[in-house]
Amino acid sequence: MSYSNICFYGGGAWGQALAITLASLGNKSTLIVSDKIREVDINNHVSKRFPQAKLSPLIKASIDKNQIIKTCDLIFITTESKRVLDAISQIAFLSDENIHVVITSKGFATNTGETFSEVVESDFPNMNLSILTGPTFADEIANNQPAAAVIANKVIEQANSICELFHNSNLRLYPSNDPQGVSIAGAVKNIIAIGAGIIEGLRLGDNAKAALITRGISETSELIKKAGGNYSSAFGLAGIGDMSLTCSGPHSRNMAYGMKIVTNYNEPPKELVEGLNAINATIALSEKLDLELPIMSSIKKILNKEANVDEIIKKLLSRPIKNEFN
C-alpha cells in the first residue's frame, strides 16, 4: 500500500519533524498551517521551530486547508489534543472516504475519558484511523536522531502500511492492533510526568521517582485492561517507553511543569501541558470503571490543592498491603 498525497493537519514542531523524516526518504508532504507567515517561511525552506535545519523542497505549506484535505490520501493530525475532534470532523466532511487518518496527539477525546479511537468508531465508523504514539521528542526526530514508536490500527495491515512508509528512516515504527490501549497509555503518561517533576522539584530522590514510574505503569495497565484495551500496551513503547522518556527531565514539558509548580504554583504554564488536560478525564474514566488509581488521584489532589505533598506521601505509604501484581 502506497500513499501519493501526504499532509499534516498542524504545522508545528511535531508535524514538521515527521515531514522532515519523510522527506529524508524522498516523500513529498504538505503542512496545513494557520497563518501566512509560517506558510511563506516553510515554502522558503525555513523552520522557526528548528532553525538549524533547512527544510527540504519536498516539504510544502499551505493555509488552504479545505483544498489540501480534499486531495490527500494520508493525513497526520499533529495538533494539540483539544483540537483533534474538530480536525476529524473537517476531514470527514471534506475528504475521500478512503483517506487514512493518523492521530499523533496524546490525550483523551472527551472529559469523561473516551479515546479518539472510540469517538471515531462511534461517530465516523467508515474512517480508517491509526494512532501514532511513543517516546519521541520532536526536536530529536527533526535532527535525524534514532527513535522508535508504535502505530496502532484495528486492521494490522493498515498499521503496517505506515511502518513501511517510514521504513529505513531514523524513526522505526512497530505495528499494533490496540489503538485503545496505546491511546490511554499516551494520555496518562503525561500525568505521571507531572508527578515526576514534583518529585524532582522537592528533591525526594531517585527511589521515589522510580517507584512513581513503576506504579504509574501498573495503574496504566489496569486502566487499559478495564477500558477494553490490551494491558500489554502499557509495557511497550506507548507505555513504559514514553513514560520513561517523559519522566527523564525538563526536556519534557509535563515534567518541567511539575518541577515549576513546587516553587511557583500560581503561574500558568507558558507551553502546552497535556497532562493538565488529561487528568480529569483519567479520573472520570477510572470512576466509571470502578478502578482505584492511587498515584494519579494523588497527583490530581496536589494540582487542585486538596492536600499537600507530605500528606499525600503519608497516605500512599500507609495504604493496605497487597501483592504487586493482581
- Domain CATH for 290: 1.10.1040.10
Same domain, yes or no: 234 and 285: yes
Same domain, yes or no: 193 and 310: yes
Q: How confident is the model at residue 101 (pLDDT cuts 50, 70, 90)?
A: very high
Same domain, yes or no: 238 and 203: yes
Q: Which domain holds residue 46?
A: 6-177
Domain membership flag for residue 138: yes
Q: What is the mean pLDDT of residues 21-40?
A: 95
Same domain, yes or no: 231 and 283: yes
pTM higher than 0.95 for the full model? no
- pLDDT tens readout for residues 173-223: 999 999 999 999 999 999 999 999 999 999 999 999 999 999 999 999 999
pLDDT for the residue 159: 97
- Which of the two residues, 97 and 233, has the higher pLDDT score? 233
Same domain, yes or no: 148 and 188: no
Among 177, 208, 237, the domain boundary falls at 177
Distances (CA, A) of 5 to 68, 69, 126, 253: 9, 10, 20, 32
CATH number at residue 127: 3.40.50.720
Distance from C-alpha of 166 to C-alpha of 320, rounded to nearest angstrom: 47
- pLDDT tens readout for residues 257-266: 899 888 876 6
CA dihedral 126, 132, 133, 137 (to 10 degrees): -140
Q: What is the mean pLDDT of residues 43-61?
A: 94
- Which of the two residues, 132 and 309, has the higher pLDDT score? 132
Same domain, yes or no: 125 and 149: yes
Domain membership flag for residue 103: yes
Neighbours of 193 (CB within 10 A): 30
**How many helices (DSSP H) and strands (DSSP E) are in the chain?**
14, 8
Same domain, yes or no: 212 and 82: no
Domain membership flag for residue 323: no
Q: Which residues are catalytic?
A: 189
Same domain, yes or no: 124 and 264: no
Structural domain total, the chain:
2
Distance from C-alpha of 72 to C-alpha of 80, rounded to nearest angstrom: 21
Domain membership flag for residue 122: yes
Q: How confident is the model at residue 2 (pLDDT cuts 50, 70, 90)?
A: confident
Domain membership flag for residue 164: yes
Q: What is the mean pLDDT of residues 48-74?
A: 93
pLDDT for the residue 265: 64
**pLDDT above 80: residue 97:** no
Among 131, 161, 177, the domain boundary falls at 177
**pLDDT above 80: residue 267:** no
Same domain, yes or no: 122 and 191: no
Domain membership flag for residue 258: yes
Work out the percent of the chain whose per-residue pLDDT is above 70: 98
Q: How confident is the model at residue 309 (pLDDT cuts 50, 70, 90)?
A: confident
Domain membership flag for residue 322: no
pLDDT for the residue 252: 85
Residue with cell 535532527: 143
Same domain, yes or no: 91 and 51: yes
Same domain, yes or no: 71 and 207: no
Report the candidate in 89, 97, 101 with the shortest Cα–Cα distance to residue 7: 101
Domain membership flag for residue 1: no
pLDDT for the residue 271: 65
Q: Indicate the average pLDDT of the chain.
A: 93
Among 133, 149, 177, the domain boundary falls at 177
3-state secondary structure (DSSP) of residue 148 = strand
Task: For the chain, report the end-to-end CA distance as a whole number of angstroms.
Answer: 42
Same domain, yes or no: 27 and 124: yes
